[in-house]
Amino acid sequence: MTGPPLVTVRNLTKLYPVRRSAFGRPTGALRAVDGVTFDILPGETLALVGESGCGKTTVGRTILRLVEPTAGDVRFDGVDVRALEREALRRMRRQMQLVFQDPHASLDPRMRAGALIREGIEAHRLAEGAAADARVARLLEEVGLRATDAARYPHEFSGGERQRIAIARALAVEPRFVVLDEAVSALDVTVQAHVLALLAELRRARGLTYLFIAHNLAVVERVATRVAVMYLGRIVEIAAAERLYASPRHPYTQALLSAVPVPTPGARTRRILLTGEVPSPTAPPSGCAFHPRCPHPGRDVECTRTVPPLEEVEPAQLAACIKIRRKPSAGNESSHPSPVARP
């Protein structure tokens, strides 16, 4: 995992106007994504985690330009995604695919599995006729289904099988980068384990890069090489997966990890119970958006004033909290604080 990043995201911001006045004029804004910066390196699986409304899905959609950002910069393989015109964007989209949470909703129920997979192949003129059929058959087998399944309709498959079809459909256009938005969240655990194994296998075999958007931290630990934690539109911590799980530094990451129920009786030792719920993104708290719920003992008035920058707190671990004591700098990297943790 070396070389230049495949995806670079800089100061990405997405505001949605909120209409409140009697004349329907926007009187405020929902800050869905608020100045997010990160890189995705070729071949890695970057997980974007956080609770509902934190902006993780919007980040994924903005990279694919399914949602137009309000501000900020997104580059794919060095190309400015925001500047692309229609035809260029269409060609770019071949390289970036999306798999949704609910394959029931994302697969047209009137189309057979084969036709669903074939759609992209033909739209991008990758093959036609018998050659396209052969591709469809190969893809079905690659995701663990049978070539004969091409003739069946989505409702004839189980939830896990439908998700395999959605994956085959995404891979049909030979993308380099796939956004997996809660792609296994709706599946039962045994099915989920198989689909996660399939995704890992495909990544190895095809040299794919994933952005894995999820709320379940235990699932993320199985697949991610790096993890970014979001809260109210901002990244509060980003680090290599082993590091983030072994020694989370941001108080929110710590609370989030401690909240996951442990499937071992009697194993629970301590839980950081946050008070209240995530505030509305239409009126995020001042300063550090987490400050009203923060359990950090050093929390003070400064936290309500200063927006904490995302800074290196350990080598290859960045956190946005002014109360974290930093280890003395190792030297070389401190001269230009990198926006990304390099594994």
Partner 1 sequence: MTAPALLAVRDLRTTYLRASGPARAVDGVSFDVASGETVALVGESGCGKTAIALSLMRLLPRHGRIEPGSQVAFDGRDLLGLDERAMRDLRGRRLAMIFQEPASALNPVMRVGEQVAEVARVHGERSRRAAWERAVAMLRRTGIADAPARARQYPHELSGGMRQRVLIAMALLLEPALVIADEPTSALDVTVQAQILDLLRELQRETGTAVLFITHDFGVVAELCSRALVMREGRLVEDAPVERLFAAPAHPYTAELLRAVPRLAERP
Nearer to partner 1, 90 or 268 (CB): 268
Nearer to partner 1, 88 or 262 (CB): 262
3-state DSSP: the chain helix, strand, coil percent, rounded to 5? 35, 20, 40
Nearer to partner 1, 13 or 258 (CB): 258
Nearer to partner 1, 119 or 242 (CB): 242
Nearer to partner 1, 41 or 241 (CB): 241
- Which letter, b or e, does each residue of 151-179 get, where b requires 16 or more Cβ atoms within 10 Å of its Cβ? ebebeebebbbbbbbbbbbbbbbebbbbb
Nearer to partner 1, 54 or 171 (CB): 54
CB of 128 to partner 1, least distance (A): 39
Q: Could you list the residues that contact partner 1 (CB under 8 A)?
A: 51-52, 159, 188-193, 215-219, 221-222, 245-246, 255-268, 271, 273-274, 276-278
* H and E: helices and strands count for the chain: 10, 12
- Category of 239 on φ-ψ map: left (φ > 0), alpha (ψ -120 to 50) or beta: beta
Q: Is 244 exposed, middle or buried (0-12, 13-18, 19+ CB in 10 A)?
A: buried
CB of 94 to partner 1, least distance (A): 32
CB of 71 to partner 1, least distance (A): 27
What is the rounded (10 degree) CA torsion for 286, 58, 191, 151?
Answer: 170
- Two tokens, residue 265: 């009786």
- Two tokens, residue 4: 């230049």
CB of 252 to partner 1, least distance (A): 9
Nearer to partner 1, 24 or 263 (CB): 263
Sign of the C-alpha dihedral computed for residues 297, 298, 301 and 302 taken in this order: negative
DSSP states along 218-273: HHHHHH-SEEEEEETTEEEEEEEHHHHHHS--SHHHHHHHHHSPPSSTT-------
CB of 223 to partner 1, least distance (A): 10
CB of 194 to partner 1, least distance (A): 8
CB of 280 to partner 1, least distance (A): 9
Q: Are 290 and 231 in contact (CB under 8 A)?
A: yes
